[in-house]
């Protein structure tokens, strides 16, 4: 149990044992492998209060966790499939500054911090090393950073103030399958223990979102922005048209709100700029009369007399293509 000020909590710290139980729930054949079990859900760690740090280090975390059970012959393809998935995500989010770190054991930690089997450690570390080399993925090595059950690739990133974090990990486990008596029948009809790859593509979503906020300094590309468009009427006389424009965009799947009532137009524009909303649509007498909008981008660029349909097509394209620019 997790003890917090005398209160005991029974919370799931990891998914691994449950997935191992699923694998071991019935006889498995080599034809069943690779077997991939994924779970999107919460896990909890009793991090010390002094180590908690915003979204970057929390006690309850949501993650897309998975375990891949495979034979040694399948290992490289499965392991590098995970690495390719990670690189796809980083490219998608425009993340260029990161480091792939091969986290190794230390001999001094065998039987304490690490599973006590030097031969298997060296074998597994070389398998990971060779897979990365064959996949032409640059990496560095760091001793005494492995998981207790095997080596791993940690993806290291840095926060805006220079603190280093692991944003994703790809781990090979040669210990737990044996401890859980997991086996499969190989092609020779013999029982064999599978390898297990632990992977969580974006780590905890809390940490990843925290990193993205810092990475973009709040200036999210339009496809990621929580609010993509804000419609601002010049006066209250233009509120109905602002609401109409917002409804048209919202019906098309755009995240939008109309800022009616309250402050004057200039204050609403300043507020939208502070919130780093990608697009502001200003509507006044001319826009109402012509059925158009004046577009004001977050970067200061402006365009007057834009048809609502034309703007909608444009912004939908930026969203669909996950464009990094406005």
Mark whether 70 is an active-site residue.
no
Q: Which of 105, 198, 215, 318 is catalytic?
A: 198
Mark whether 5 is an active-site residue.
no
Cα(first)–Cα(last) distance of the chain, in Å?
49
Q: Which of 19, 28, 57, 67 is catalytic?
A: 67
Mark whether 67 is an active-site residue.
yes
Q: Which of 32, 36, 45, 273 is catalytic?
A: 45
Measured at the CA of 158, the angle between CA 89 and CA 141, to 5 degrees, comes to 80
Mark whether 238 is an active-site residue.
no
Q: Which of 63, 171, 176, 228 is catalytic?
A: 63
Q: Please state, in angstroms and as integers, the Cα–Cα distance from residue 293 to each residue in 207, 242, 245, 288, following that order.
A: 38, 9, 9, 8
311 CB neighbour count, 10 Å cutoff: 21
Query: Alpha helix (H) ranges present in the chain?
Result: 16-23, 72-92, 118-134, 176-179, 205-216, 239-251, 265-274, 285-290, 308-320
Q: Which of 16, 70, 154, 298 is catalytic?
A: 16
Q: Which of 65, 105, 176, 215 is catalytic?
A: 65
Mark whether 152 is an active-site residue.
yes
For residue 210, with 0-12 CB atoms within 10 Å meaning exposed, 13-18 middle and 19 or more buried, which class applies?
A: buried
**Which of 125, 131, 163 minimizes the C-alpha distance to 147?**
125
Q: Please state, in angstroms and as integers, the Cα–Cα distance from residue 238 to each residue in 128, 219, 233, 290, following that order.
A: 63, 28, 5, 13
Residues marked as catalytic: 16, 45, 63, 65, 67, 152, 198
């Amino acid at each position: 149990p997790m003890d917090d000020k005398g209160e005991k909590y029974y919370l799931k710290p990891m998914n691994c044992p449950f997935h191992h139980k699923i694998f071991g729930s019935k006889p498995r054949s080599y034809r069943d492998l690779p077997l991939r079990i994924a779970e999107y859900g919460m896990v909890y760690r009793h991090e010390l209060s002094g180590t908690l740090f915003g979204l970057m280090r929390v006690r309850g975390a949501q993650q897309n966790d998975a375990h891949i059970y495979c034979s040694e012959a399948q290992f490289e393809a499965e392991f590098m499939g995970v690495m390719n998935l990670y690189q796809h995500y980083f490219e998608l989010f425009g993340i260029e500054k990161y480091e792939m770190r091969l986290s190794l054991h230390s001999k001094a930690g065998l039987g304490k911090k690490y599973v006590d089997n030097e031969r298997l450690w060296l074998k597994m570390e070389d398998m990971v090393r060779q897979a990365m080399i064959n996949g032409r993925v640059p990496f560095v090595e760091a001793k005494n950073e492995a998981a207790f059950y095997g080596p791993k690739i940690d993806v290291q990133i840095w926060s805006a103030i220079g603190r280093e974090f692991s944003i994703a990990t790809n781990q090979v486990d040669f210990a737990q399958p044996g401890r859980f008596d997991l086996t499969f029948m190989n092609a020779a009809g013999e029982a064999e223990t599978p390898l297990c790859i632990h992977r969580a593509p974006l780590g905890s979503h809390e940490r990843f979102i925290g990193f993205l906020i810092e990475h973009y300094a709040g200036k999210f590309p339009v496809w990621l922005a929580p609010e993509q468009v804000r419609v601002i009427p010049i006066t209250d006389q233009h509120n109905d048209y602002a609401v109409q424009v917002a409804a048209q965009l919202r019906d098309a799947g755009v995240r939008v709100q109309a800022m009616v009532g309250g402050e004057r137009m200039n204050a609403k524009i300043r507020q939208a700029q502070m919130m780093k909303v990608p697009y502001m649509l200003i509507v006044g007498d001319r826009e109402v009369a012509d059925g158009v909008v004046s577009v004001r981008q977050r970067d200061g660029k402006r365009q007057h007399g834009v048809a609502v349909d034309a703007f909608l097509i444009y912004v939908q394209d930026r969203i669909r293509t996950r464009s990094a620019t406005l």
